[in-house]
């Protein structure tokens, strides 16, 4: 059964081109923007799947809150497969637009636009867009994003694929919050893959922030994700560290 699922996933990847599956270092984007804030960010993720090489990814980024409603960030992305050397993967330009003020509407909303230039020209360009939602219930914060992703000028057949991210966390203390995170991809946006070739992961996550004085803040979040569908990685460890100043 696993072999059939893996074969089907490979067939779909070969048929539809570069995968929209989330990178191991992907994170749950939040709708809020912090005006005037600069940040240095490090993301890291590593995923293991039975019978396959370990897939790892890391990103270094600089971000800035350009306006009260627009934050932009540029990433240098790296990846590594198995025992191969770490290689430069892509440059990504992320833009986040906050819609309204937090708490103004029934749900807090934002919109994400990411453009990625792959180092491997055969992968072309990648555009990822989608709405970001947040709803608080007292000390419980929930987020859900759905994101459309498409490659352009790639050597493979280009389709628009649908992915999602979510998290639920209990905001216990500023230094330590805990909850669950999940990521997934369902395939072509209007013609979803069979469930056994979709990728869904879910697992526990921790979050926190430490003021360093003045405008300096250190933030972290990390999760261990387990597969919730047979095509997903067995285990993914992901982390995001941010230094705001």
From CA 68, how far away is CA 206, in angstroms rounded?
A: 27
Task: Tell me the C-alpha distance between 96 and 116, whole Å.
Answer: 15
- How far, in Å, CA of 206 to CA of 222, rounded? 5
Q: Is residue 121 packed enough to be buried (19+ CB in 10 Å), middle (13-18) or exposed (0-12)?
A: exposed
Q: Which is nearer to another protein, 33 or 222 (CB)?
A: 33
Determine which residue in the list 131, 148, 180, 188 makes contact with another protein, applying CB under 8 A: 131
CB closer to another protein, 44 vs 164: 164
- Residue from 2, 7, 10, 35 touching another protein (CB under 8 A): that is 35
Q: In this chain, which of 44, 125, 144, 178 binds another protein, going by CB under 8 A?
A: 144
- Shortest distance, position 180 Cβ to another protein, whole Å: 13
Task: Provide, rounded to whole angstroms, the least separation between the CB of residue 190 and another protein.
Answer: 13
Burial class (CB in 10 A: 0-12, 13-18, 19+), 191: exposed
Instruction: Estimate to the nearest angstrom the gap between the alpha carbon of 190 and the chain centroid.
Output: 21
> DSSP states of 120-160 as a string?
SGGG-EEEEEEEEEEEEETTEEEEEEEEEEEEES-SS---E
The answer to whether 186 contacts another protein (rule: CB under 8 A) is yes
Q: Does 111 bind another protein (CB under 8 A)?
A: no
For another protein, the closer CB: 66 or 122: 66
Task: For residue 188, state whether it binds another protein (rule: CB under 8 A).
Answer: no
By the criterion CB under 8 A, which residues form the site for another protein?
A: 32, 34-37, 65, 68, 101-107, 109, 131, 133, 135-136, 138, 141, 144, 146, 164, 166, 171, 173-174, 184, 186, 200, 211, 214-215, 217
């Amino acid at each position: 059964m696993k072999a059939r699922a893996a074969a089907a996933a490979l067939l779909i990847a070969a048929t539809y081109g570069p995968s929209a599956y989330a990178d191991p270092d992907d994170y749950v984007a939040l709708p809020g923007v912090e005006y005037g804030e600069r940040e240095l960010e490090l993301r890291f993720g590593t995923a293991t799947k039975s019978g396959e090489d370990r897939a790892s990814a890391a990103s270094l980024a600089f971000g800035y809150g350009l306006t009260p409603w627009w934050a932009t960030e540029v990433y240098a992305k790296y990846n590594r497969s198995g025992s191969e050397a770490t290689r430069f993967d892509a440059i990504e330009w992320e833009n986040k637009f906050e819609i309204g003020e937090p708490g103004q509407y029934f749900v807090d909303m934002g919109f994400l636009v990411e453009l990625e230039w792959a180092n491997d020209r055969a992968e072309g360009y990648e555009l990822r867009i989608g709405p970001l939602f947040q709803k608080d219930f007292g000390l419980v914060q929930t987020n859900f994003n759905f994101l459309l992703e498409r490659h352009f000028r790639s050597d493979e057949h280009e389709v628009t694929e649908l992915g999602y991210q979510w998290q639920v966390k209990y905001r216990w203390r500023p230094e330590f919050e805990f909850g669950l995170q999940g990521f997934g991809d369902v395939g072509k946006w209007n013609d979803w893959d069979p469930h056994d070739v979709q990728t869904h992961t879910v697992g526990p996550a921790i979050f926190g922030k430490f003021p360093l004085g003045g405008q300096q803040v250190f933030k972290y979040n990390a999760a261990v994700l387990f597969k919730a569908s047979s095509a997903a990685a067995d285990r993914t460890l992901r982390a995001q560290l941010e230094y705001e100043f």
